[in-house]
Amino acid sequence: MLAIVRQTASLLRSGRGNGSVKRKLVMVMENFEFVSPTHFVFGKDAELQVGTKLAERGARKVLLHFGGKSALASGLIDRVKESLEAQGIEHVTLGGVRPNPEITLVREGVALCKQHEVDWVLAVGGGSVVDSAKAIAVGARYEGDVWDFFESKRLTNDVLPIAVVLTIPAAGSEASKNTVVSNDALQMKTGYANNAQRPKLAFMNPELTFTLPPFQTAAGCTDMFCHLLERFFDDVGAVPVTDNLCLSLMKTVRAEAPRVLADPDNYDARANVMWAGMLCHQGLAGVGRHEDWATHGLEHELSALYPEITHGAGLAVMFPAWMEFVYDANPARFAYYGREVFGLAPTGDAASDALSAIDETRSFFASLGMPTTLDELGVEEADIDKLIPTLKENKGEPFGSFKKLSMDDAKAIYRIAFASGDE
């Protein structure tokens, strides 16, 4: 089946499927603006400084926002509360953030902030909690519905300041300008980017990650790696400073991910993964480039339809499928990636080297315990037609940067993702 899907994909790639043409690469660093306001407190017992650092910034009352039972059972929430109370900072609590955070809880948080005149939002958790906190901070000073910002993408500077105690390194949301929230009623998952919602404080203690389940650790490392792939592959060409940052971080994640899975209490490995996760999505690894983000768009539709799909697991399936569809736009770029990250020896055939790099990418994700096909995620081929309308609404048409994609292209990529495990 995979051969048939690849043949169909080849027709679409050639332009006979969608009229696309290859772009001539522009070898120039693009203009950019870069903002990084986050104060990082990194290391053992970092969370014990929450109260002191917030008091220094004039915090009087915070919304303490977290996920499920683990943050309570571990005693982390109690330690954070004690740190706040020691500095005379009041707090209102809101737990219950799920993976792929949903707008209903965000609206509840917005209402609490307004009711209690909260002046900071403090997220304790991973990317889902931080994303939910960002959305709350954006909506807290807005008279309308916070979902308006996700629909219109309009910017606002009237955002409550945000602090983060990170427990799951993955999304990089502790320093990024991005948040992604689901709206189950609309079966949509969409992002909102605004520098004003970058956290002002991030407390990062690698010891808090020791007890993460292996699957969650692996999905987090996959997410980090994919954040770099989105930046490395675009239509700009070579940007040596940024490229080398990306490649170095990819090699770090590739080296450290197996270490933390084999030895969960390895502080150095956990520390490297935690810091890399932030750098992978803070934005510095993409300056001077257009970036692509087609694959994240493709995955967001999956986890909007099936919220139980872990984002990193969905990306592990979708990224190699996207790669197979687009690599011929610039096979030399893929070959370069394969040499630098996986140590593949060049054969003189850029297309063959590109395919080898894609195979290595899929194998790396699989070695971490990630799925390789959409079947493993419980997605059915009949779901493809359900994914396309909201993908078009979220991303527009064409979408992507490395190669401009149509909705027919998107369908072909989803089909490759079903066939990826076939011989």
Given a contact cutoff of 8 angstroms between Cβ atoms, the answer to whether 95 and 68 are in contact is yes
Strand-by-strand arrangement of the 39-42 sheet: 39-42, 201-204, 162-166, 120-125, 61-66, 90-94
Given a contact cutoff of 8 angstroms between Cβ atoms, the answer to whether 372 and 358 are in contact is no
Query: Is 24 a residue whose pLDDT tops 70?
Result: no
**Rounded to an integer, what distance in angstroms lies between the CA atom of residue 367 and that of residue 369?**
5
pLDDT per residue as tens digits for the range 347-357:
999 999 999 99
| Token pair in block for residue 5 | 């899907």
Query: Is 3 a residue whose pLDDT tops 80?
Result: no
| Token pair in block for residue 410 | 């998107």
Q: Give the β-pairing of 162-166 and 120-125.
A: parallel
- With 0-12 / 13-18 / 19 or more C-beta atoms within 10 angstroms meaning exposed / middle / buried, residue 275 is middle
pLDDT per residue as tens digits for the range 293-333:
999 999 999 999 999 999 999 999 999 999 999 999 999 99
Report the 3 state secondary structure along 370-422: CCCCCHHHCCCHHHHHHHHHHHHHHHCCCECCCCCECHHHHHHHHHHHHHCCC
pLDDT per residue as tens digits for the range 355-389:
999 999 999 999 999 999 999 999 999 999 999 99
pLDDT at 80: 97
Query: Is 53 a residue whose pLDDT tops 60?
Result: yes
**Rounded to an integer, what distance in angstroms lies between the CA atom of residue 171 and that of residue 252?**
16
Q: What percent of the chain has pLDDT over 70?
A: 93
pLDDT per residue as tens digits for the range 240-259:
999 999 999 999 999 999 99
Q: Is the dihedral of CA 191, 192, 193, 197 positive or negative?
A: negative
Given a contact cutoff of 8 angstroms between Cβ atoms, the answer to whether 69 and 233 are in contact is no
pLDDT per residue as tens digits for the range 194-248:
999 999 999 999 999 999 999 999 999 999 999 999 999 999 988 999 999 999 9
Given a contact cutoff of 8 angstroms between Cβ atoms, the answer to whether 119 and 61 are in contact is yes
Query: Is 422 a residue whose pLDDT tops 80?
Result: no
